[in-house]
Structure formats: C-alpha cells, structure tokens
Structure 1
Amino acid sequence: MTTLPPVLRHGLQLKTLRVHQRDAVLSIELNTPEQGNVVTDAALDDLRAVLEHQDPDIRVIVLSGAGDDFCLGGDRTEFAEHLLEDPAGGGIRASGIQARRVCDALISHPAVTIARLHGKVIGAGFALALACDLRIAAEGASFRLPELALGLPMAWGGILPRLLNEVGAARARELVLTGRSFDAPEALSLSILHKVVPAEDIDAAVTAWARPILRRPPTALRVTKTLLNSYTAATRLADTSALDAELMAAVAAETHRARPV
C-alpha cells in the first residue's frame, strides 16, 4: 500500500524531491529533470531533511532520479554564484558541509539504501550513489568524475575514501585523474555497481533485492549494517574527508582568483 511518509505528514515542503512510501520501502526521487537533477543547495537541504527523519518502520530506501538521467552532478551555476557572493569560498564551504552530512546520512541510515541508476551519473550524483549500500543500474547508464577537469579537488561528500575502498587505489586513481566516462558493465567490474539490468527490468530487480531485506528481523538488520560500516571504516586509516568542505572552498577560491577577468 502506498502512503504519505511520516516526514511529509509533519508539513515538510520539498522543492526538489518526490517522496513516497510503500509498506516499509521509502522511495526518494531527485525531481528536477529539466535541470538533469543537478545537486543544488535546495536538493541537499531536502535530502537531509528526509534522511534525518528516521522512521523505524522504514526498512529500505530507494534513491532514484526523474527524467533521462539520474544526476548530472553539482549545479555549476549555483557554484559560480557562491564564488561571486563570497570569493573566499564561504558559500562553497557551507554547501560542502551539507553535502557531507547528506552522504553520511545515507551511509549511517538504519534502513538499507539502494541507488537505482540510469542515464548519466556524474560527480555529486556519483557520490550520492556511492554512499548507498547497494547500487543497480540500467544497461545504458554511464559514469564520470569530472571534478579535476573543472579545476576542483575530489572533495565532495566523502566520496574519495569510499571510492578507494570500493574499487581499489589503482583504478580509483585512473578514474579521478582522467575524468573519463565509463559504462555500466565497467562500473560493475569495478564494484561500483552490484548489478546491471535492462532498463525495463530495473524496477523488478530493485523489488527483488528489497523483498528478502524486508523479511529480515529489524534489529539484526540494523546492527549488521552498522557492523559493515564499522569494519569498512576501520580499513581507512587516513580518512581526511572531514576536510572536504575546506579543501573544496580553498581550491575553488584560488581557481576563481587565478581566472582572467
């Protein structure tokens, strides 16, 4: 049965998301398809508000995107506006802090999070997907990390240590330094994805994943997810991603100052 999630029953107005609940599954859809579902400050605010409202009845969260693409990355127009308003990078820093909180909320949420991906998955969208427990994509999906080509460090939402942990240092280095696009089968081979299916089968595949998860005892499921996150974090001995917002702001401000007028 589809119902209005409790977070929306409390009067929360979402500007960039479409959210609905079916039994114990909460679906969160990035819903600005005319802009390619780019990640704006408003989108981060909406995501954080939904994710931090932890309804114990929710066992699975599915993150998806409306339209042709899952997410085209961060909003470059808003990024430039932040620098015009504060050339020292204050706006970039605030946005980066919120991005880290959103990704942490996905990672630490007691529900199992599933990224349902299609079309282009770029930059900040890639980071949001990587923060999910399970990731599935349609066959035509493509992936890219363009930050370095844009003059920015790979410092958004704690993506770099998670990427290193999921795919390994050698492959992560190549993807980050070249910024090349790669397809869903390669993403699967790199463990960025867990499954690739024809586009028409993706919803059925998500349901097939969710069905056994919903049958698991809730306490055991919650503790197991916490253990998986804890043991994964223990292998990241030098995780400096808490500095992501500061690094992004500093590099963006320096690049802005160095750009010819």
Structure 2
Amino acid sequence: MTAALPPSADSTPLVLKTLHAYRQGAVLHIELNTPEQGNAVTDAMLDDLLAVLDGQEPEVRVVVLSSAGPDFCLGGDRTELARHLAEDPAGGGIRTSGTKARRVCEALTTNPAVTIAKVQGKAIGAGFALALACDLRVGADNATFRLPELALGLPTAWGGLLPRLLSEVGAARVRELVLTSRAFTAHEALSLSVLQSVVPPHDLDTAVTAWAKPILRRPVAALRVTKALLHAHTAPARLADASALDSELMASVLAQAHYTQSPRQRRTVPLD
C-alpha cells in the first residue's frame, strides 16, 4: 500500500519541490524528480532529501533512491553555483551547500535501513556521489558514470565521495578515473564494484525487488545491527577521511578561481 509522506495522521505532509517520495509498506521510495534539468543537484534538492531522510520512520527497512527521466543525475547545478559565487565570492554559499551534501550522503550511508540506488542513463559528479552513498547499486546497461571535477577545475570534494570511492574501488583505479575524468560504462562500473548488478533498463524494478524481498523478511533488530556492523568494519578503511573538509576545499578553489577569472569566464562556471 502506497502512503504519502509522512503517513502518520498527526503529521503535516512534507512539501517537496524536487522529489517524489512515498512509502510502500516498509520500503521508502525517493525519486529525484526534476528530469527537465537532468535531476541536477540543487540546494532545494538537498533540503528535500534531508527532510525525507531525517523524517524517515523506524518501520522503514529499505530505501530506494531513483530518478525520473532518462538520466539518474547530471551533477551539480551550474547556474546555482555561479549565483553562490556572485552573491558571496568568498564561497560562503558553497560551504553551506557542501555541508548539506555531506549530511545527505552520510544519511544514506549510515541509514539503519538498507539503501538501494537504481541508476539509469548518466550519473555524473554529485549524482555519482549520491548513488555511491547507497549500500546496494543496480544499473541499467545504458548507465554511464563520470567524475568530471578535475577537468572543470574543481577538486573531487562533494559529499564524501572520494573516501567512499577509494574504499569501494581501490586507490589505483580511482586515481585513473579522477585524473582522466573519463566516462565509463555500467559493465566497467560492475567490474569496479561501483555497481553490484547490471540489467536491461526494463528490469531495474525487478532487480530492486529481488534485493528488497529477502531484506524485508529479516528481523528488524538483526538487520539494524548488521548494518551498523558493516559500517563500523568499513570505517577503518576511511580513518584518514578528510571529507569533512569537502565544502571548505570546494569553496576555496572556486573562490580563488572567481578572483582570477574575467567576468565572462565567471558566468560559465560548471559543476557537473
């Protein structure tokens, strides 16, 4: 049974500008829902994600993160980034946005429920980070991934992406992906453990259900403890995790670029 969020009678329904979120029993579905903009990550989307994840009910055992339209997420919103820099060339708005991004990705990674990313089309930059923050990731065979930050003059510093990627994939391969900024396919993503399953686009929902069904049968307490243990045992691999500095690094690099660029260059700052 599908329920609006939040389903309790004494709660005020969330007003979501960029997402479609609903409950199906113990499964919480969160769909990025700005396909006309490639589901680009904005401050409004981060606020919506935080509202849904912070308000998640204890009965939820599986969270499915998906998106509307042909692409999962084309990265951060360029126009909003340029506006942040115009309003505060020192990078204050970028720091605030970066802090929200880290909170969203941590909420997915440390979620007591099992989080599943369902990826189709392009997953670029911030979109890649959102998918990687989930426990399980299934991709359509037309999915592609890219970390374009360095090619765009930016550090790979969004939402704690880099330490997660190093932990999941390994330093040698991550170094190549980050330094070249090249795109790679779903099947290569599978070989790198960026994805755990690749299926035809029409089988994405079936693949998610195949994962969710046995999870929903597990005792709640055991499931939550197992999730906590998995997180605790992977955390030592990220003991030197500097992702708390992501927003500061991004703001510092962009602020410096802003001061050294011409006015024309400033109007074309990218973030995907």
Give TM-score scaled by structure 2 length.
0.94
Identity of aligned residues (%): 69
Question: Which amino acid letter does the alignment assign opposite residue 4 of structure 1?
Answer: A
4+ aligned runs moved over 4 Å, structure 1:
none
**What do you get for the CA RMSD once the two structures are aligned?**
1.0
Q: Does 1:247 align with 2:257?
A: no
- Structure 2 residue aligned with 1:25: 27
Of 24-33 and 9-18, the range deviating more from structure 2: 9-18
Asked if the contact 2:20/2:31 (under 8 Å) is kept, the reply is yes
The answer as to whether partners of 2:4 and 2:13 remain within 8 angstroms in 1 is: no
Counterpart-to-counterpart distance in 2, 1:37 and 1:114 = 18
1:64-107 CA-to-partner distances (Å, cap 9, x unmatched) read 01001000000011001000000000000000000001111111
- Which residue of the partner structure matches residue 117 of structure 1? 119
Say if 2:85 is the partner of 1:83: yes
The match for 2:103 is 101
Aligned partner of residue 64 in structure 1, secondary structure: strand
Distance 1:244 1:7, change over 3 A: farther
Amino acid at match of 2:214: P
The CA distance in 1 between the partners of 2:35 and 2:51, in whole Å, is 21
Aligned-residue offset at 1:212: 0.1
Contact kept in structure 1, 2:5 and 2:22, CA below 8 Å:
yes
Matched, 1:166 2:168: yes
Partner in structure 2 of residue 6 of structure 1? 6
CA contact (8 A) 2:129 2:161 kept: yes
Q: CA deviation at 1:236?
A: 1.7
Specify the code of the residue in structure 2 equivalent to 1:117.
V
Give the corresponding residue for 2:270.
none
Deviations 1:129-153 (A, max 9, x none): 0000000000000000011111110
Amino acid of the structure 2 residue aligned with 1:133: D
The total of aligned residue pairs comes to: 261
Which segment drifts farther, 239-248 or 9-18?
A: 9-18
Measure, in 2, the Cα distance between the counterparts of 1:146 and 1:53.
33
Structure 2 unmatched runs, 5+: 264-272
Q: Decide which of 184, 193, 204 is 1:191's aligned counterpart.
A: 193
Structure 1 unpaired stretches of 5+? none
**1:4 shift after superposition:** 1.6
Give the alignment partner of residue 139 of structure 2, picking from 132, 137, 148: 137
